[in-house]
Structure 1
Amino acid sequence: MNYILFIIIGIIAGWLGSIIVKGKGQGLLVNMIVGIIGAFIGGSILDHLHIHMPGFFGLLVASTIGAVLLIWLIGLIRR
């Protein structure tokens, strides 16, 4: 059940990340995948910084941070 919640949070984070980066998204499917990968990245970054955000909102914030970073990096590479 936790994996399903993690995927849902990743999808929402990918969508939010594409809105935050403003037009740098690559389409709905890619943004969802980026959000799921971004969830791992954001969680790792916050864990290394010793920032712990429990609950649904904390996971969503960490995932969105990772998604924004990943969308930004993809945008740099695609130039």
Structure 2
Amino acid sequence: LLTCHLPRHIFPKSFSCSRAKVIYTIRNPRDVVVSYYYFSKMCNSYEDPTSFEQFLMDFLNGELPHGSWFEHIQGWMKM
């Protein structure tokens, strides 16, 4: 059993050909952005968000560290 937050493109190509099974859980995007906002405020390695509104716009535009949440979802859904 493997639990991770990695995007699909980071996994080796051989993963798709293996007999491994995938259970992918998609969280409500509203829950994701709120959780990510508070995590960013707490985490010293991220720039402190100026406001939730700006953070939300950056999230929707894929301009936060780790890239677009929507592209992350699409990568796994194409598998």
TM-score by length of 2: 0.31
**Which has the larger share of helix?**
1
TM-score by length of 1: 0.31
